[in-house]
Structure formats: C-alpha cells, structure tokens
C-alpha cells in the first residue's frame, strides 16, 4: 500500500510539470538526464523555470550541455532568443539544477501568437531534443494555476476563455499553465512573465518559504495572486496587507474545489490595462511619451543623393574622358576601384560625422520602496528609449536580478528595427548566465537604430523616508543616497504635504497642500509613462501614510555601456517609516 501511495504521489507531481526530455545514458547503471519545465507552458516573455536532474552512476565523469532556442510564431521573420547551460556529471553522483531559460518576447499579431521553446541536449551523457509551447490570444493574460484547482476546473476554464476569445483561431488557447506547489521556483523572475497565479490555501502553505517570498516579490511588481481558501479565510497565510503594484485576493471555496469558470476568467481578464503582453504590444508602438520627449531625428537624403550623383558623374564621363581617355583605357582597372573606394570612405565618414559612435537615450523608472517587514527592497519598472550611431559591439551584462524585454516602437519611424508590423524582423538575441549575472549579445542594440526596452528588477536598498517626530506637523528624513527634487506625502488623516530640494541625511519640514495641488503634480509625472506603468502609479499614489517622490539623481538599471543616458528620471513610492 505504501508503494502505491508513493507511486501515486510521483505520478501526480509529474503531471503538474512538462517533461521536455529524458535520456537514458546507461541502462545497466540507470544513468540518465531529465529536463523538466516546472510550468507546463512558457509565458509570453520573461523566463521559463527548468529543472535538470542528472544521475551518473557510471565510474567515469561525464558532461551535460543544454541549448535552448525561444521564438515567437513569426517563423524566420520573428525574433529568437538563444541560451545555453553546461553541467558537470561527476562519476557515481546525482545532482539537480534549477535554471531560468530566457524567453523571446511574444508580440501577438491581429489574432494570436505562440511562445515556443526548443531544447537540444549534448555532451557525453547523451543527446536528444524536446520542446514546449503555449498559445496566447492577443489580449489574453498569462495565468498559472495550481494542480489542485487545474484538475477539476481546467476544461471549464478553457471553454469560458474560448468563448471570450472566440475570434482567435477558434478559441484554441488554454486558460492557464499548470504547476505543482511543492516544486514552485524560488526566484521571482520565474513568475515575471505571468500576470496571475491561482492556487488553494493548502498549496500556498505547501510551497517552500523561499517560493512564497518569490511570489510575493512578483506581486509587489504587479502580479495578481488569487488564493482559494477551503477554510474560508486568510488566517495563517502570512500575506501582506499592502501588495504594492500587485493584487492579493483570498476567496472561499467549497471542499469540491469547483470554481465559477466565468468569474475566475473575468478576474484575470479584467486587469486589461496591466496585462503584460498587451502592454508590450500597445504601450510603446505609438505615442510613447518617453520617445516623444526624446525628439525625432531626420535623415538627410539630399546629401547622400548628391554624393551618389557626383559618384556617377566621376566614375562615368570624367573617368572615361579624363582619367582614362582614349589610348589609356587600361587605367579604368585602377581608377574605377579607387573612385569607388573614395566614395565609400566619404559615405562612411559622413555617417560617422552625422551619427557618431555609441548612442544616446532616456530612462524613466517607477520604483516602490519597501523598508517595512524586513524587506529593505526596491521593486522597479524601467522604460528606456535610445538612438544609436555606429556600434562596434553591443553586448552587455545585467548585474542585477532583472527581466529585460524589447518593445515594438512606432512603425513609421525609419530608425525602428522592432515594430508590430515585422514582429521581430529576424532579430536574434543571446543570453547566458555567468556567475548569476545575465550576459547578453545580439540585436538588443543595433547600429543606426532606435530601440525601446522595458526592465523589471528587485534590488536591495536601505533607502527610506522616515518620520522624525511622532506627532504634530511631520518632520521627515530621507536616507536615500541621492537628492530628491519633489516629494508629496499623504498622512493618515488624508492631509497632503509637499517638500522640495531634499538632501539626503537632513531633516525637512513639508508644507500643507490641497489634494488638487497634489494631483496636478502627480498627474504630470504619470503622463510620462506608458499605459501600464501609468496605471500602476495611479493605483498607489493616494495611499495614506505613503509618499511619491521625484528625482533625476537615482541610478537606473544599466544595460549597454555605449549609451549615454541624457536623463534618468525616477518616481519613488512607498510607506513613510514611523518612529
């Protein structure tokens, strides 16, 4: 009986994951390599968490090489992201490795799109291939659903989703990816590409403490956590009362674990303005405030046309009747290449003179700072737009734990390389984790181009705004290591306060302002962002006991070093630390 119970548990756990491949290296010793996706389908962006199990029971050390290629469904014209991982397989040893596979950003067209991941196994432990994919309608949120709820509700949820998105390939999209709560990833980046996570209270408590912490970090960045409680309440779940950019809901559920399919799908679809796939597709492709503020660069066609006309005149009549006139036609074999070379050098020189090396750009950051509950962390979203000249290389390393995605920009811009029309235009990206840092190369930045990116990150910080006095008119103190230009603060009595030119480490006395004055300041800052970040800021700006501050001195998340950032503007939010 115990064996049957154990077998049932193993089968149950496996069903909540997607096995990409299992290669038996040696039957006699039962040596193998097994690669499993912890979520049954990839998100439209971010990372896919993968578990690699290696059992080398042979007497000779071996090696395992994994190569992944993530792509959207635009075929050869779409974008692809490649990554690779290598592992040693010591003799007579077993090991398990959790990795994050970078995903190519899905830019769904007018109907739907498919996120695909292909795996190739190499090395001396064997070879093989595997794949996993997920189809998403244009405005469909990416959802994770715990196995306990997936089993009795999956078909009904898919049917309801099909009804809501019936115009997309006959409603073939699945509502959610499935996961096993006991095997949940312990890195917030594993959840970053998903919009909602739904599970029972029993599954929540069954997850490891590190996994729950990773989910809560993802919630702070904007994720939606729905917990269905069989006990009917949130007691013992240790959930924060303030979920920052995200949303936490606890709802009762009957012992049969049956969900109302329509209400459950609506709960995720209704967050339309913050669905990441929709945001990436629509927020930056037209009227992106950050791009508009940077300005437009024209292209001087006249100069190049004149040079080409002059080239035609010199290489033709002048060359024929002056440099290699009758009786000296053999000189054409010398003069023609020299004229062509000189024209090419002139064109290159003009391009360098006009565009230069490297590039320039602007960055805008929305940051929630949480000094409370021992978190001491900042949760940030960064929008950045840049224009490049000639690049001799465009690789860079992300030193922070972050997600990075290119975004399509205005298709009418001749400098744009990624637009909704081309779906990627054959762009290729490469990402590799080295010492925990993501080293990238490929088409993140291209010569003589304009490009946009969005990043999300969780970084440790001791910065905060403290209240220096327990009562009366507030005296505040900033411990951030950069100055703050403007700060608005709404106290627990709903009175607004404002301070300017705040120096780190010094107390300051804000002055009272009206709610209308505060809204005028805050609306101006909101208007700088794309729609999703604008909505996230709008949801937080009126919390009692919290502040919104503006600074141009805070550092951003660095990407390509060849870009000179003209401005990095940061909007900080968070609770005032009470004395």
Query: What pLDDT, in 10s, does the model give residues 11-27?
Result: 444 457 899 999 999 99
Q: What is the CA radius of gyration of the chain?
A: 28
Count Cβ atoms within 10 A of the Cβ of residue 242 and give its class: 0-12 exposed, 13-18 middle, 19 or more buried: middle
Within a domain: 216: yes
Q: What pLDDT score was predicted for residue 6? A: 39
- Top-ranked range on mean pLDDT: pick from 67-76, 160-169, 328-337, 402-411: 402-411
Same-domain pairing of 524 and 377: yes
Q: What pLDDT score was predicted for residue 1? A: 39
Does the pLDDT at position 74 exceed 80? no
Within a domain: 211: yes
338: pLDDT confidence band, cut at 50, 70 and 90? confident
Does the pLDDT at position 569 exceed 70? yes
- Alpha helix ranges (H) inside 207-245: 209-220
Q: What pLDDT score was predicted for residue 341? A: 85
Same-domain pairing of 316 and 273: no
Does the pLDDT at position 97 exceed 50? yes
Same-domain pairing of 541 and 457: yes
The C-alpha atoms of residue 88 and residue 60 are separated, in whole angstroms, by 11
Candidates 520, 503, 502; CA nearest to 511 is 502
Within a domain: 474: yes
Q: What pLDDT score was predicted for residue 187? A: 97
Average pLDDT of span 266-271: 92
Give the contacts of 41 (CB within 8 A, at least 6 positions apart).
18, 115, 132, 133, 134, 174, 177
Q: What pLDDT score was predicted for residue 7? A: 39
Q: What would the two tokens of residue 228 be?
A: 């269905």
Q: What is the pLDDT of residues 237-251, one digit of tens each?
A: 989 999 999 999 999
Candidates 148, 244, 151, 245; CA nearest to 201 is 148
Does the pLDDT at position 2 exceed 70? no
362: pLDDT confidence band, cut at 50, 70 and 90? very high
Same-domain pairing of 345 and 363: no
Give the domain range for residue 372. 356-394+445-579
541: pLDDT confidence band, cut at 50, 70 and 90? confident
Average pLDDT of span 515-541: 94
Q: What pLDDT score was predicted for residue 81? A: 93
Give percent of the chain above pLDDT 70. Answer: 92
Q: What pLDDT score was predicted for residue 350? A: 67
302: pLDDT confidence band, cut at 50, 70 and 90? confident
- Top-ranked range on mean pLDDT: pick from 130-139, 166-175, 352-361, 551-560: 551-560
Within a domain: 479: yes
Assign 3-state DSSP to the chain and report helix, strand, coil percentages, each to 5: 30, 35, 35
Same-domain pairing of 574 and 497: yes
Within a domain: 4: no
The C-alpha atoms of residue 488 and residue 475 are separated, in whole angstroms, by 13
Q: What pLDDT score was predicted for residue 110? A: 58
Q: What pLDDT score was predicted for residue 354? A: 64
Answer with the residue of higher pLDDT: 107 or 491: 491
The C-alpha atoms of residue 377 and residue 456 are separated, in whole angstroms, by 13
Average pLDDT of span 554-577: 95
Give the contacts of 4 (CB within 8 A, at least 6 positions apart).
none
Same-domain pairing of 365 and 498: yes
Contact by Cβ (8 Å): 230, 253 = yes
The C-alpha atoms of residue 71 and residue 60 are separated, in whole angstroms, by 36
Same-domain pairing of 319 and 206: no
Average pLDDT of span 463-470: 90
Same-domain pairing of 275 and 305: no
Q: Write the DSSP symbol of residue 170.
A: T
Q: What would the two tokens of residue 192 be?
A: 């970053």
Average pLDDT of span 400-413: 89
Contact by Cβ (8 Å): 449, 387 = yes
Q: What is the pLDDT of residues 126-137, one digit of tens each?
A: 999 999 999 898
Q: What pLDDT score was predicted for residue 301? A: 62
Q: What pLDDT score was predicted for residue 23? A: 96
DSSP string, 376-440: -EEEEEEEEEEEE-B-S---EEE-SSEEEEEE---TT-TTBSS-TTTTTTT-EEEEEEETTEEEE
The C-alpha atoms of residue 146 and residue 182 are separated, in whole angstroms, by 10
Q: What would the two tokens of residue 297 be?
A: 């660069």
Within a domain: 15: no
Q: What pLDDT score was predicted for residue 108? A: 64
Does the pLDDT at position 484 exceed 50? yes
Does the pLDDT at position 253 exceed 60? yes
Does the pLDDT at position 536 exceed 70? yes
Same-domain pairing of 547 and 536: yes
Going from the C-alpha of 218 to that of each of 48, 440, 444, 562, the distances in angstroms are 15, 23, 25, 30
Does the pLDDT at position 3 exceed 50? no
Pick the range with the lowest mean pLDDT from 142-156, 167-181, 497-511: 167-181
Answer with the residue of higher pLDDT: 402 or 320: 402
Residue 205 DSSP SS3: helix
Q: What pLDDT score was predicted for residue 370? A: 96
Question: CA quadruple 57, 61, 62, 63: dihedral positive or negative?
Answer: positive
Q: What pLDDT score was predicted for residue 149? A: 97
572: pLDDT confidence band, cut at 50, 70 and 90? very high
Candidates 176, 101, 107; CA nearest to 403 is 101
Give the contacts of 51 (CB within 8 A, at least 6 positions apart).
17, 35, 36, 37, 38, 96, 97, 98, 99, 183
pTM: 0.88
Average pLDDT of span 225-232: 91
Total residue count of the chain as it appears in this document: 579
Does the pLDDT at position 9 exceed 70? no
Going from the C-alpha of 22 to that of each of 95, 149, 471, the distances in angstroms are 15, 28, 64
Same-domain pairing of 266 and 361: no
Same-domain pairing of 350 and 360: no
Cβ-based neighbour number of residue 171 at 10 Å: 17
Going from the C-alpha of 143 to that of each of 87, 99, 177, 281, 394, the distances in angstroms are 31, 21, 6, 18, 34
Does the pLDDT at position 415 exceed 80? yes
Chain mean pLDDT for the chain: 88
Q: What pLDDT score was predicted for residue 295? A: 79
The structural domain count of the chain equals 3
Pick the range with the lowest mean pLDDT from 38-52, 227-241, 523-537: 227-241
Average pLDDT of span 137-166: 92
Count CA within 13 A, CB hemisphere, residue 353.
8
Going from the C-alpha of 531 to that of each of 73, 141, 361, 570, the distances in angstroms are 26, 16, 20, 17
560: pLDDT confidence band, cut at 50, 70 and 90? very high
| CATH number of 162's domain | 3.40.50.2300
Q: What pLDDT score was predicted for residue 170? A: 44
Q: What pLDDT score was predicted for residue 453? A: 96
Q: What would the two tokens of residue 281 be?
A: 């597709």
The C-alpha atoms of residue 136 and residue 107 are separated, in whole angstroms, by 10
Pick the range with the lowest mean pLDDT from 206-220, 278-292, 305-319, 545-559: 305-319
Within a domain: 478: yes
Q: What pLDDT score was predicted for residue 12? A: 40
Contact by Cβ (8 Å): 121, 66 = yes
Within a domain: 545: yes
Same-domain pairing of 239 and 332: no
């Amino acid at each position: 009986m115990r064996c049957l119970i154990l077998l049932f548990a193993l089968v149950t756990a496996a069903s909540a994951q997607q096995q990409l491949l299992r290669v038996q290296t040696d039957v006699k010793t039962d040596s193998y390599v097994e690669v499993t996706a912890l979520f049954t389908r990839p998100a439209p962006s971010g990372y896919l968490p993968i578990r690699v199990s290696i059992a080398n029971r042979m007497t000779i050390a071996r090696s395992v090489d994994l190569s992944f290629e993530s792509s959207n469904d635009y075929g050869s014209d779409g974008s692809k992201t490649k990554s690779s991982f290598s592992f040693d397989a010591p003799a007579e040893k077993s090991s398990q490795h959790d990795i994050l596979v970078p995903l190519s950003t899905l830019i769904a067209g007018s109907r739907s799109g498919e996120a695909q991941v292909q795996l190739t196994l190499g090395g001396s432990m064997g070879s093989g291939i595997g794949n996993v994919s997920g189809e998403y309608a244009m405005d469909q949120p990416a959802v994770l659903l715990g196995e306990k709820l997936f089993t009795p509700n999956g078909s009904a949820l898919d049917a309801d989703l099909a009804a809501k998105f019936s115009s997309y390939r006959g409603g073939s999209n699945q509502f959610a990816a499935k996961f096993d709560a006991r095997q949940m990833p312990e890195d917030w980046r594993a959840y970053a590409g998903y919009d909602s996570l739904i599970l029972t209270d029993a599954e929540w408590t069954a997850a490891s403490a590190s996994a729950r912490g990773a989910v809560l970090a993802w919630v702070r960045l904007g994720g939606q956590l729905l917990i269905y409680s069989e006990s009917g309440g949130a007691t013992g779940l240790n959930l924060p009362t303030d979920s920052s950019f995200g949303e936490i809901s606890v709802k009762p559920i009957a012992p049969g674990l049956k969900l109302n399919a329509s209400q459950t799908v609506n709960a995720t679809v209704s967050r339309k303005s913050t669905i990441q796939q929709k945001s990436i597709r629509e927020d930056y492709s037209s009227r992106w405030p950050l791009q508009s503020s940077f300005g437009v660069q024209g292209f001087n066609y006249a100069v190049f046309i004149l040079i080409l006309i002059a080239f035609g005149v010199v290489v033709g009549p002048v060359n024929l009747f002056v440099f290699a006139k009758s009786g000296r036609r053999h000189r054409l074999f010398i003069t023609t290449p020299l004229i062509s070379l000189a024209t090419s050098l002139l064109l290159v020189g003009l391009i360098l003179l006009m565009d230069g090396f490297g590039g320039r750009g602007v960055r805008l950051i929305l940051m929630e700072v949480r000094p409370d509950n021992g978190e001491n962390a900042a949760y940030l979203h960064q929008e950045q737009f840049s224009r490049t000249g000639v690049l001799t290389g465009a690789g860079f390393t992300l030193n922070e734990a972050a997600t990075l995605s290119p975004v399509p920009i205005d298709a009418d811009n001749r400098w744009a390389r990624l637009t909704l029309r081309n779906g990627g235009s054959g762009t290729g990206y490469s990402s590799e984790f080295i010492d925990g840092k993501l080293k990238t190369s490929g088409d993140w930045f291209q010569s003589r181009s304009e490009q946009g990116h969005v990043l999300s990150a969780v970084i440790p910080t001791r910065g905060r705004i403290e209240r220096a006095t327990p009562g009366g008119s507030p005296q505040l103190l900033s411990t951030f290591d950069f100055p703050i230009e403007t700060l608005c603060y709404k106290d627990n009595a709903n009175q607004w306060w404002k301070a300017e030119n705040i120096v780190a480490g010094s107390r300051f006395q804000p002055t009272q302002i009206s709610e209308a004055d505060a809204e005028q300041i805050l609306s101006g800052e909101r208007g700088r962002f794309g729609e999703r970040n604008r909505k996230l800021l709008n949801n937080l700006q009126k919390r009692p006991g919290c502040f919104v501050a503006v600074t141009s001195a805070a550092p951003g998340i660095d990407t390509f070093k060849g870009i000179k950032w003209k401005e990095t503007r940061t909007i900080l939010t968070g609770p005032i630390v009470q004395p």
